[in-house]
């Protein structure tokens, strides 16, 4: 390594280390989402879907696929990334990261990169499972991948911030459970917000997850609750905000250094 | 010799307001073994953690191998290895994986041959495929040393490397430290086993309540501050010291059977009277005090350490009273 260059080896080491945990529990990592997704289709797709028929011209079973993927990857991104950085803090092995010639940005690349990789794999597993139950169509594969990347990166970064902020395992669970899961359920994962009464629709527009799901669903079926441009802008905005928070954490050594 | 680490005006006040380091200045020479001694809570770990980037200093600067540890942290840390005081390891990883990870983290290209050498040197080779949680405490400590050596540091910090380690491993560790030094590695260690410092160190720093009170070559320190003692086994026990010996620093021991003479390395007492051993023996001859045999002893570094640290503590408590 040159004395001051980018610590490529360090990023790679963190990435591989994080991925190793995923690979160690590969069976569990693959089987769990397959089963969960199948259950969703049995319950929502068949039981409820048979009474709902179509939403925005799309069969209900197919309609919920993008929302289902979003729901899973949001939660997975946050929990993977927050756990990844919280755990060394908890066990004390963080000393090594702090004493290594690695910048905060490189640390993020390693942790967030690994968390995003895991979530994307999860998303693809769910997508593959879904095709076994309903006809899924992807009209804009480029945007589909773009939304997948943007979302997993943004929420992995969010998870990283939570992992650094958390002082205990309860706090680690707090935001995903109290904020993210409700927002996703209310964000139109299983319905179009156009189906809400006008006043609630306005309220729903304050929910950032609405934009993610809407944009993602548009890349599948070209039906959207809000414009795709707005979706992209809102998601990028959230990413920008997180980058600011992370930049500040980096400068202040927030909750990492004494 | 040029210093490989220069610490100047280093202070650390923790968030709670506790001043753990008070304006510490210290230079570590290239290639030396430096032992940092001090009672619990003196600030040894704080000092090491600042140099290694784990704790942020409140003020002052540290330059390691010509690089400021804050501004140019990447170049500085690249050269530094740390074995922390606390036993903190991964649990589910294998020994091989965790040591390989450390090397990568420090920006070094993979080098399985080097990792193998380090593991063999620490008798961990047979355990390379074992998960860390299945190792004993002493083996875990060795894993931490292996991690620190994985990236070939030129400066190595060992924060109490031999705490909770058996005799054999301690000897192994000393041998390893010597080998590393021969290879040009600068070593800074802390320990509560003073005999360890006495055995290993070239120079010694003593820190007490956040202040560095002594920095000295070990030999000089022992010469300057070490006390020597001459013990005479008397032929006839004495009830009290004869007045004629009043101005000698003598004490009666073992029910008056032993006469103990304590002197410093220069053996010159106040008042310019020569108080070396020959004059004492002459004096005893004049007083017709016979002795069966005699022995001398030298105080250990441990005694020097204890006297220094308690000397420091006393004026403060008197001042407070
Ligand atoms: N994170 C912290 N917050 C507040 N005070 C701290 C913190 N870490 C250490 N201290 C205090 O700073 C002082 C120095 O601690 P340090 O760990 O440097 O001592 P030490 O010399 O290494 O002691 P030991 O021999 O017990 O390892 C202690 O009084 C300790 O309580
Ligand atoms: Mg300590």
Does residue A98 sit at the B interface (CB-CB below 8 Å)? yes
Domain count, chain A: 1
Q: pLDDT tens digits for B254-283?
A: 888 888 887 765 555 545 555 677 788 888
For A3, which residue in chain B has the nearest alpha carbon?
B75
Q: Is residue A189 part of a domain?
A: yes
pLDDT on residue B314? 52
Cβ of B132: how many Cβ atoms within 10 Å?
19
Tell me, what's the pLDDT at B108?
Answer: 95
Orientation of helix A8-24 relative to helix A104-131, angle to 10°: 40
Global pTM reads: 0.83
Does residue B316 carry a pLDDT above 70?
Answer: no
pLDDT at A1: 42
Asked whether the predicted pLDDT for residue B321 surpasses 50, the reply is no
- Chain A residue whose CA is closest to B145: A96
Question: Could you tell me which of B12, B38, B8 has the C-alpha nearest to residue B26?
Answer: B8
Whether B90 sits inside 8 A of A96 (CB atoms) is no
Give the confidence band of B87 by pLDDT, cuts at 50, 70, 90. confident
The domain spans of chain B are: 5-223, 227-298
Whose tokens are 């021969």? That residue is B182
Residue whose entry in the numeric block shows the structure tokens 């390989």: B100
Which of B105, B144, B147 should be substituted to probe chain A, the one whose Cβ sees the most A Cβ atoms within 10 Å?
B105
| Confidence tier at B202 by pLDDT (50, 70, 90) | very high
Q: What local confidence, expressed as pLDDT, does residue A123 receive?
A: 92
Q: Which residue owns the Cα nearest ligand 1 atom 16?
A: B43
Per-residue pLDDT at B301 exceeds 80: no
- Binding site membership of B16 for ligand 1 (Cβ less than 6 Å): yes
Query: Is residue A257 one of the residues assigned to a domain?
Result: no
The residue range of the domain holding A80 is: 8-252
Q: Which residues of A52-78 are buried (b: 16+ CB within 10 A; e: fewer)?
A: beebeebbbbbbbbbbbbbbbbbbbbb
Give B227-298's CATH code, choosing from 3.30.70, 2.60.40, 3.40.50, 3.90.550.
3.30.70
Using CB atoms, pick whichever of B74, B102, B110 lies closest to residue A96: B102
Residue to test with chain A: of B91, B107, B115, most A Cβ within 10 A: B107
Give nearest CA residue, ligand 1 atom 27: B40
Which amino acid residue places its CA nearest to atom 29 of ligand 1?
B41
Specify whether the CB–CB gap between B80 and B185 falls below 8 A.
no
Size of interface A-B (CB pairs under 8 A): 96
Mean pLDDT for chain B?
86
Rounded average pLDDT over B66-80:
93
Which of A201, A188, A211 is CA-nearest to residue A63? A188
* Ligand 1 contact, B104 CB (< 6 A): no
Distance from Cα B168 to the centre of ligand 1, integer Å: 29
Predicted local confidence at residue A3, as pLDDT: 47
List pLDDT tens digits, range B127-180. 999 999 999 888 999 999 999 999 999 999 999 988 877 888 888 888 999 999
Cβ distance of A93 and B72 shorter than 8 Å: no
Distance B215 CA to ligand 1 centre (A): 21
Q: Does A202 touch chain B (CB under 8 A)?
A: no
Q: Is the beta carbon of B18 within 6 A of some atom in ligand 1?
A: yes
Would you say domain B5-223 falls under CATH 3.40.50.300?
yes
- Residue B110's pLDDT is 95
Query: What are the phi and psi torsion angles at B19 (to 5°)?
Result: -90, 100
pLDDT at residue B318 in the model: 39
Question: What integer is the mean pLDDT of B70-84?
Answer: 94
- Is residue B315 over pLDDT 60? no
Below-50 pLDDT ranges, chain A: 1-3
- B41 C-beta closer than 6 A to ligand 1: yes
Across-strand partners of B131? Answer: B94
């Amino acid at each position: 390594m040159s004395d001051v260059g980018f610590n490529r080896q360090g990023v790679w080491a963190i990435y591989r280390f994080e991925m190793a945990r995923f690979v160690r529990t590969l069976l569990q990592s693959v089987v769990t989402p397959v089963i969960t997704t199948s259950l969703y289709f049995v319950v929502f797709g068949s039981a409820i879907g048979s009474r709902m028929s179509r939403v925005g011209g799309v069969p209900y079973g197919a309609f919920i696929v993008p929302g289902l993927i979003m729901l899973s990857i949001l939660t997975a991104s946050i929990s993977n990334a927050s756990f990844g950085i919280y755990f060394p803090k908890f066990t004390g092995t963080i000393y090594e990261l702090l004493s290594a010639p690695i910048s905060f940005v490189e640390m993020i690349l390693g942790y967030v990169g690994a968390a995003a990789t895991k979530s994307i794999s999860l998303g693809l597993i769910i997508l593959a499972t879904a095709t076994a139950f309903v006809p899924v169509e992807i009209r804009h594969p480029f945007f589909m991948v773009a939304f997948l990347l943007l979302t997993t990166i943004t929420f992995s970064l969010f998870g990283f911030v939570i992992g650094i902020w958390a002082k205990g395992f309860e706090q680690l669970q707090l935001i995903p459970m109290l904020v993210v899961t409700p927002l996703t359920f209310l964000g139109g994962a299983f319905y179009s917000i156009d189906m809400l009464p006008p006043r609630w629709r306005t309220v729903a527009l304050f929910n950032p997850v609405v934009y993610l799901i809407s944009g993602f669903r548009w890349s599948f079926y070209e039906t959207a609750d809000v414009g795709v441009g707005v979706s992209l802008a809102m998601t990028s905005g959230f990413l920008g905000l997180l980058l600011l928070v992370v930049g500040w954490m980096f400068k202040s050594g927030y909750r990492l250094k004494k | 010799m040029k210093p490989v680490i220069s610490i100047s005006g280093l202070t650390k006040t923790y968030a709670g307001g506790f001043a753990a380091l008070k304006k510490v200045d210290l230079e570590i020479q290239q290639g030396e073994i430096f032992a940092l001694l001090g009672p619990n809570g003196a600030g040894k770990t704080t000092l090491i953690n600042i140099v290694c980037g784990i704790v942020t200093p409140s003020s002052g600067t540290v330059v390691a191998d010509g690089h400021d540890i804050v501004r140019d942290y990447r170049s500085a840390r690249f050269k530094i290895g740390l074995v922390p005081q606390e036993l903190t390891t991964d649990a589910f990883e294998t020994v091989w994986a965790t040591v390989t990870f450390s090397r990568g983290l420090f920006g070094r290209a993979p080098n399985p041959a080097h990792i193998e050498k380090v593991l063999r040197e620490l008798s961990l080779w047979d355990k390379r495929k074992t998960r860390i949680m299945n190792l004993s405490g002493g083996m875990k400590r060795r894993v931490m040393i292996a991690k620190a050596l994985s990236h070939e540091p030129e400066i190595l910090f060992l924060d109490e490397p031999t705490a909770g380690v058996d005799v054999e491993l301690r000897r192994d560790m000393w041998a390893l430290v010597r080998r590393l030094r021969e290879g040009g590695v600068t070593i800074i260690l802390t320990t509560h086993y003073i005999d360890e410092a006495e055995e290993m160190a070239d120079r010694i720093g003593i820190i007490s309540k956040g202040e560095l009170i002594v920095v000295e070559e070990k030999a000089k320190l022992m010469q300057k501050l070490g006390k020597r003692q001459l013990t005479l086994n008397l032929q006839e026990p004495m009830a009290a010291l004869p007045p004629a010996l009043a101005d000698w620093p003598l004490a009666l021991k073992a029910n008056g059977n032993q006469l103990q003479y304590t002197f410093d390395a220069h053996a010159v007492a106040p008042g310019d009277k020569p108080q070396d051993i020959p004059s004492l023996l002459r004096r005893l001859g004049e007083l017709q005090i016979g002795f069966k045999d005699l022995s001398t002893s030298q105080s250990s570094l441990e005694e020097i350490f204890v006297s220094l640290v308690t000397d420091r503590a006393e004026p403060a408590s008197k001042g407070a009273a």
